[in-house]
Structure 1
Amino acid sequence: MLDASEILSASILIVDDQPANVTLLRQMLRKVGYTQISSTMEPAEVARLHQIHQFDLILLDLQMPGMDGFEVMQNLKQNDPAGYLPVLVITAEPAYKLRALKEGAKDFVSKPVDLLEVQTRIHNMLEVRLLYKKLENYNKQLEQKVLERTAELRASESRFRRLTELSSDWYWEQDESGSFTKISGPVLEMLGLMTDENSDDDTGWNRDERNALAQVLAERKPFLDFVYSRTNPDGSHQYLQTSGEPMYDSNGNFTGYRGIGIDITERMRPEEGLRRFRRVMEVISDAIFLLDRNSMCFVDVNDTACQLVGYSRGQLLGLGPAELGMGSRDQLDAVFDDIIAGETSAQRQKLELRRRDDVQVPVEIHWQAARRCGEERIMVAIAKEVLGNNRDFEVNELPEMPPDLD
């Protein structure tokens, strides 16, 4: 809605070749309260004046010498062919009324002029015109906001894509049926697939891991850092990590998933090596004790070691070699320092190991060192029970210990 002040402050141009008519209309408009009133008795000047001032209403007399009102409207349309003609014509000829409307005039007033009728038609026409202009301005503002918002969304999408690229190797989207609709990043190259190959081929993938991921997707739950693996044709293992979240439309309907993924094969190599090392520990018939050099506490043992000394693995991890009769810290420090310094690759001890039930078990222990992280060391004790007179034994070979045992 419009305030009365908005209508009364609208700009009006009076066009008439008769000074008396101009004065009459001007006085009538001022009496009502209109404040922005202009006039001209030169019809040829109307188009120029309107181009400068963009009047909200033009009161136009059709019968003028030299250039009549119809020619004035033609000039106005030439300056703005697709524009709005804010013209209210004044004429004494009934036949001119329909013609004027066809030429683009918005309304007409008959002569002799009825002042009340003129006031009413002017008010109504200005109200429509100003509402139209307000709507036009609103549409322009809305269009500008849409453009700005679109630019913001594009910038946000660009930032999101850039952050995704920095924090992951690829970005993916699936539709509600589980088919990939978007994949950005070198994932196909990482998997050794050609672009025309089926990336859903499950050859080499760990089925249990794939089934677990499929279950999460079926429940439409978000997931974080899910790790799954595949065995490549050359026998090597590849590890991938992915995170995703379900997508919904504005009505809350599920539309699919989106997420990111990274190749963590290099990060998993030490853990894979550790798993291999521990598997070997369990199949070796000798007792294996892994000892942290700094704390002098066991950090891992195999089942054979637990059976030999009568402790569970959890119990042993809270103990050190002194509790098992392997020697005092001072004695072992000297042995370990020699091994670490490289003066000897390994040391053998023959002693009686103290079991949990205090039974003494004769054993021979083979000590060696392995690098852990940086300068930290893990000492490896390989122990075998000495039975009867057999005081010598061959130490089983352990695989090279992975650099990270944490």
Structure 2
Amino acid sequence: MTDERPDESVIGRIFRAESGRSLAAVIGFCGDIDVAEDAVQDAFALALRKWPADGLPPNPGGWITTTARNRAIDRLRREARGRELATDAARLPALDVPKEVDTVPDDRLRLMFTCCHPALATETQVALTLRLLGGLSTHEVARAFLVAEPAMAARVVRAKRKIKAARIPYRVPEAQELPGRLRPVLAVVYLVYNAGLANPGLCAEAIRLARMLAELMPDEPEVTGLLALVLLIEARRAARTGADGSFVPLGEQDRGRWDRELIAEGQALVRQCLRRDQPGPYQVQAAIHAVHADATAAEHTDWPQILALYDRLLALTPTPVVALNRAIAVSEVHGPAAALELVDELDLDHYYAFHATRADLLDRLGRHDDAARAYRHAAALAPTDAERDFLRRGGRSGRRGDPFC
């Protein structure tokens, strides 16, 4: 143990960053999702009791994984079906040293492909993986899908039961099986990254998983597109927050704080996708972000090109969220009135960015009272304190045309 005495908030952040990795390792060991979840939660509870008094262990993630594995062994020993497994587990090396923890990302990839088995519905695959691998609460997963929390909880429970009943294997599929599971796997990585915008540890993990997938499937253009997309968004992450912790929208960001190395890598991957000429949703989204990254100032953004790319994206992925983002580009090319007409047709009442976009368009049209109401509605739904404060202040203060991201 170190001399550092962490409080509950520090331990919570560590657990949030490490729980998915630990859970994947314990599921790989015991093969039972419920046993592994309980064991990892037990490890967290023990950390809350021990670490404030004893200090942080040298490797907190390894400590959680080892403790959770031991708790799983204890439970399995109490169950007849666990006796043989527990005997075998006693011969395994400890997981509390860096050498062992370095192998865990493979466990996370296996867990991702297990959750994304074709026996499960696509939305269920993504929801379950976000819950287990991303360490998201059921409330956060429900918010990502814009559904009620009880409905999402029931969906996750059913999925875990189906994995157990169908004896779905915990492994990376054979090469011929990979393409069939690719779509939900990519969706999970992207949603984990988006969740990480409020929890930065998840951003790093999503990028790591995207890089692993790119190594595993180098000939899949959408894998390359996803990696390019998260790198280009990550390049701007530091500039999203001001010195006082406030939210800074894209159009008002200090572009000198953008990570030019990540932008160069992301744009190189976009060019690689263009040469393949097999466009897919992640590739087109990456191209949109590459255009934003090209602009040295917000007013230099090539909005006609972005609108053309959104036209293509909407044809590939005709969802209300894509339509909302396209409307922002429409507002820059054809004006706020044309965009508001499109936005008002969308059924996204539970999505904070919908109300934030409406508020901005209404403000630009001089309908300030309507805009104020929309800003209040958006603030009530916003996922972070910084975004809530930004919206309560009436949104952006100067430059137009920046997606709320």
Task: Say whether the fold is shared (TM-score over 0.5).
Answer: no
More strand by share: 1
More helix by share: 2
> Which of structures 1 and 2 has the bigger CA Rg?
1
Higher relative contact order (CA 8 A, sep 6+): 2
How would you bin the TM-score normalised by the shorter chain?
under 0.3
**TM superposition score normalised by structure 1:** 0.20
